[in-house]
Amino acid sequence: MSHATPADPARSTTPGRVYLDNGGRAPWHPLARQAFEQSLADGWADPRRLHAEGRRAARLLDAAREAIAAVLGARTQEVHLTPGHTASLHAAVASAAAARRRAGSAVVVGAVERAAVLHAARLAGGGSAGAGGVAGTGGSDGTAEAPGPVPVDRFGRVDAEAMAVAVRAPGVALAALQHANGEVGTLQPVGAVHDAARAAGVPLLVDAGASVGHVAVPDAWDLLAADPADWGGPAGIGVLAVRQRVRTVPVGPEDEDPWAPGGVSVPLAFAAAVALQAVESDRVAQEARRRALVERVRAEVARIPDVEVVGDPDGRLPHVATFSFLYVDGEALVTELDRHGFAVGSGSACTASTLEPSHVLAAMGVLTHGNVRIALDRSTTADEVERFLAVLPGAVARVREMLGVGGL
Amino acid sequence: MSHATPADPARSTTPGRVYLDNGGRAPWHPLARQAFEQSLADGWADPRRLHAEGRRAARLLDAAREAIAAVLGARTQEVHLTPGHTASLHAAVASAAAARRRAGSAVVVGAVERAAVLHAARLAGGGSAGAGGVAGTGGSDGTAEAPGPVPVDRFGRVDAEAMAVAVRAPGVALAALQHANGEVGTLQPVGAVHDAARAAGVPLLVDAGASVGHVAVPDAWDLLAADPADWGGPAGIGVLAVRQRVRTVPVGPEDEDPWAPGGVSVPLAFAAAVALQAVESDRVAQEARRRALVERVRAEVARIPDVEVVGDPDGRLPHVATFSFLYVDGEALVTELDRHGFAVGSGSACTASTLEPSHVLAAMGVLTHGNVRIALDRSTTADEVERFLAVLPGAVARVREMLGVGGL
């Protein structure tokens, strides 16, 4: 444990610990922290107010939107700030579906979307929030049933052909497809699906919450949600871009920002924007560096007995690697690795608090237990990765022994 | 302009400027800023994760909930953190109404509640979000119509008798009443309404977003929403306390925190809790000090010609004062005062971005134009208030002159 990680003022970790769970909630980029402190001094007032302090906060907010828009390839007025990524997804689905209610309000989704998208789609489609599967009833006007979630292959990649067929069904108001799956790293065919959706006159919501800041932002979207907490910005703020051509119906009170009733925190917004600019400035180099590390991890882990290396080997996020070990309990493996100084994720990346098996892994038809995900930060070193690889096989063996399957 | 305000590291203001718009979005308490920085170092990880970093973040989050619970007079497990005050109100109304849907889902509200409450009540009651007035249709089972919003008197105080009658109507799932109106300062009869609601078996949601941190927290509630941004904590986080006896139905995906799908920012939560403890520690002294300043302001402003001093003269928040000037445009007066170094609010405190007249002032039957609200911070000095009083009459006169009514 003599290889301490480089000092990072933005996070405190016990010396020697290796943090490999940087997906969804990554440590703040150091520049985000600086930006936050500066904008807390200058942008504490309510940006909706008319006085000098309010106008100064509004200018900071506009600057944040402009910077984010430049990275996303959007116009400033197309970029909205929300209370968080989940709120972005809910608002996008609800308001895009509501705008087309007369033609039906079914939402076509991929099977490995985030729980928030699946849930919002069920609500918009008129299904019960508690029911399993996307309802897709085609709205209350009795149009034909829309299909359920579009299946994925064993790598977690959505069937673009099936999705193209699904968006052409009557009563479809919106299609939703993630850019990449944060749990297994697989990139989705957003280009092909966007072409098909456009031909059908259906807007496409792209959940880029796991990809922005890590790979190039796609331009194949009508609505795009991105997550500052994933790229090294703060939690408590979300980004939703909506092309000006897309019809939406505000779902909140008329006299409020429809995407953030009650407003957002200007310092959080500004910190999110600065973090995005910072990670974009060396994204290509970081992408190559982390991709090489992840390739090494996937190749080495494949040599451990009875393991499945999960997700698309080629079309994937550069910083995420996921495995499922036979005869292993995922929670136990996380705990065992934690005891040895390594923090990793397990099961469903989005719902690690529950003991439910991941709906993503289930939809892929791979092992849903014994699952571990690592996500490399920009500050993760090759040395840290090597130490992880040195410790992992023993940790897996010990957990198997505890479960009495050591001899298998 | 030689009377500079005391240096406050948590906000930067042009020297000599007087900021009197500390309602809804107040500057951070200096201790909140310290707490935020410390918990950003220790609590950056996702508190839902199982590893050491996640558990450390979870402990900070629990500590925040415990501290907030102590101030609110609630149990720790009754206190939930949300993405913000508006989200708290929406979730509280939707989930409490959904839990009783079989008996009807009408929500009884006061006429001067926040737009978010009125909106959520319309949605829960089955009314159109866009329609004016609370629907209160009593759900889809065809029970009797619930009454519209409960009227207020000229001080903005809800008619407790009328509200008691309203909660006894069939099909009522929830009653919602603010503790104090943030726009005009009037305290509401939450005790009497809570008694009536309890007798009718209807839970009461109390919106304490304008009062917590300024006056004693009421104990007459079943659900209570409070707003950190109003008490000197951060925006981007909200507090919702729900008594354990209250039935609610989570409105999000089953495997997520029903009150904050996607989770909250731990540093924001911790900063909110520390700010609340800090303001509670000298609340009584600050309440008396600010009440005396507000009394002085209300008395002095009443001497300006053609003015209405708005809100209950006795049962009121200690730090808020509101006036409506005849023959004055509110926006113009805000701008004129701003030019002379004073930041104040105008119109509807919650929706100052719109040019719509305030629904609060309209419900009270007072002048809806020419309206100005001041809200004193804990750091506001008597000297600042005197300077404001010295400048206000001239500013009003100049705006009247601009409108060509100077001679009236």
Q: Domain with A354 in it: what CATH number? A: 3.90.1150.10
Instruction: List Cα–Cα distances, B97 to A51, B155, B224, B335, in angstroms.
Output: 39, 29, 15, 42
**Nearest of A345, A71, A9, A7 to residue A228 by alpha carbon:** A71
Q: Which of A13, A119, A235 sits opposite B263 (nearest CB)?
A: A235
Q: Which of A118, A268, A334 sits opposite B51 (nearest CB)?
A: A334
Question: Is A326 found in the same domain as A224?
Answer: no
DSSP 8-state class, residue A266: H
Please tell me whether residue B75 adopts helix, strand or coil conformation: coil
B195 within some domain: yes
Question: Is B378 found in the same domain as B276?
Answer: no
Question: Does residue A165 carry a catalytic annotation?
Answer: no
The per-residue pLDDT for A254 is: 65
Backbone angles phi, psi at A376, to 5 degrees: -85, 135
Last residue of a domain, one of A264, A280, A296: A280
Return the CATH number at A39: 3.40.640.10
**Nearest of B212, B204, B272, B276 to residue B243 by alpha carbon:** B204
Please give the residue range of the domain that contains residue A120: 30-280
DSSP 8-state class, residue B372: E
With beta carbons less than 8 A apart as the criterion, state whether A222 and A246 touch.
yes
Distance CA A155, CA A323 (A): 12
The per-residue pLDDT for B345 is: 92
Question: Residues 6 or more apart from A72 whose CB is under 8 A from it?
Answer: A79, A212, A217, A224, A226, A239, A241
| Cα within 13 Å of Cα(A41), Cβ side | 10
Last residue of a domain, one of B280, B314, B329: B280
**Nearest of A280, A289, A306 to residue A367 by alpha carbon:** A306
The per-residue pLDDT for B11 is: 55
The per-residue pLDDT for A191 is: 98
DSSP 8-state class, residue B376: -
pLDDT digits (tens, 9 = 90+) for A60-86: 999 999 999 999 999 999 999 999 999
Question: Is A304 found in the same domain as A202?
Answer: no
Please tell me whether residue A2 adopts helix, strand or coil conformation: coil
**Nearest of B384, B310, B318 to residue B348 by alpha carbon:** B310
- Plot region of B365 (φ>0 → left; ψ -120 to 50 → alpha; else → beta): left
The per-residue pLDDT for A13 is: 60
Q: How many domains does chain B have?
A: 2
Distance CA B136, CA B108 (A): 8
Distance of CA A66 to the CA centre of its chain: 22
Closest-CA distance of chain A to residue B46, Å? 6
The angle subtended at Cα B100 by Cα B99 and Cα B101, nearest 5°, is: 100
Closest-CA distance of chain B to residue A83, Å? 6
B386 within some domain: yes
Distance CA B404, CA B197 (A): 51
C-beta neighbour count of B132 within 10 angstroms: 12
Distance CA A356, CA A364 (A): 16
Per-residue pLDDT of chain A (408 residues; tens, 9 = 90+): 333 333 444 455 677 899 999 998 888 999 999 999 999 988 999 998 999 999 999 999 999 999 999 999 999 999 999 999 999 999 999 998 888 877 788 999 999 999 999 999 998 886 433 333 343 333 334 344 545 899 999 999 999 999 999 999 999 999 999 999 999 999 999 999 999 999 999 999 999 999 999 999 999 999 999 999 999 999 999 999 999 999 988 776 666 777 887 789 999 999 999 999 999 999 999 999 999 999 999 999 999 999 999 999 999 999 999 999 999 988 899 999 999 999 999 864 444 445 567 889 989 988 888 999 999 999 999 999 999 999 999 999 999 998 876 554
Question: Is B307 found in the same domain as B261?
Answer: no
Distance CA B13, CA B338 (A): 13
CB contacts, 8 Å: B88 with chain A:
none
Q: Which residues on neighbouring strands pair with residue A374, listed in sequence order? A: A321
A180 within some domain: yes
CB contacts, 8 Å: A53 with chain B:
13, 17, 19, 21, 343
CB contacts, 8 Å: A236 with chain B:
83, 234, 236-237, 264-265, 268
- The DSSP H or E segment spanning B401 is helix B382-402
Helices (H), ranges, A259-381 = 266-281, 283-301, 330-339, 359-364
Distance CA B320, CA B313 (A): 11
B408 within some domain: no
B4 within some domain: no
Question: Is B258 found in the same domain as B240?
Answer: yes
C-beta neighbour count of A382 within 10 angstroms: 11
The per-residue pLDDT for B30 is: 93
Distance CA A143, CA B175 (A): 37
Q: % helix / strand / coil in chain B, to the nearest 5?
A: 40, 15, 45
**Unique residue bearing structure tokens 């690690």:** A352
**Unique residue bearing structure tokens 């949605």:** B123
- pTM score, whole prediction: 0.89
Q: How many residues would you count in chain B?
A: 408
Last residue of a domain, one of A280, A306, A329: A280
**Nearest of B159, B243, B174, B240 to residue B207 by alpha carbon:** B240
Question: Is B156 found in the same domain as B303?
Answer: no
Q: Which of A49, A257, A338 sits opposite B51 (nearest CB)?
A: A338
Question: Is A346 found in the same domain as A249?
Answer: no
A322 within some domain: yes
Question: Is A181 found in the same domain as A37?
Answer: yes
Q: Which residues on neighbouring strands pair with residue B261, listed in sequence order? A: none
Question: Is A295 found in the same domain as A391?
Answer: yes
Distance CA B23, CA B15 (A): 21
Distance CA A38, CA A32 (A): 10
- Plot region of A15 (φ>0 → left; ψ -120 to 50 → alpha; else → beta): beta
The per-residue pLDDT for A364 is: 92
Question: Is B298 found in the same domain as B263?
Answer: no
Distance of CA B100 to the CA centre of its chain: 26
Best of A11, A49, A399 to disrupt the B interface (most B CBs within 10 Å) is A49
Give the mean pLDDT of chain A.
Answer: 88
- The DSSP H or E segment spanning A213 is none
The per-residue pLDDT for A52 is: 94
**Nearest of A91, A310, A272, A103 to residue A186 by alpha carbon:** A310
A200 within some domain: yes
Closest-CA distance of chain B to residue A131, Å? 10
Distance CA B175, CA B197 (A): 7
Please tell me whether residue A74 adopts helix, strand or coil conformation: coil
Single-letter code of the amino acid located at B169? A
Per-residue pLDDT of chain B (408 residues; tens, 9 = 90+): 333 333 444 455 677 899 999 998 888 999 999 999 999 988 999 998 999 999 999 999 999 999 999 999 999 999 999 999 999 999 999 998 888 877 788 999 999 999 999 999 998 886 433 333 343 333 334 344 555 899 999 999 999 999 999 999 999 999 999 999 999 999 999 999 999 999 999 999 999 999 999 999 999 999 999 999 999 999 999 999 999 999 988 776 666 777 887 889 999 999 999 999 999 999 999 999 999 999 999 999 999 999 999 999 999 999 999 999 999 988 899 999 999 999 999 864 444 445 567 889 989 988 888 999 999 999 999 999 999 999 999 999 999 998 876 554
pLDDT digits (tens, 9 = 90+) for B126-166: 643 333 334 333 333 434 455 589 999 999 999 999 999 99
Question: Is B291 found in the same domain as B146?
Answer: no
Question: Is B146 found in the same domain as B63?
Answer: yes
B60 within some domain: yes
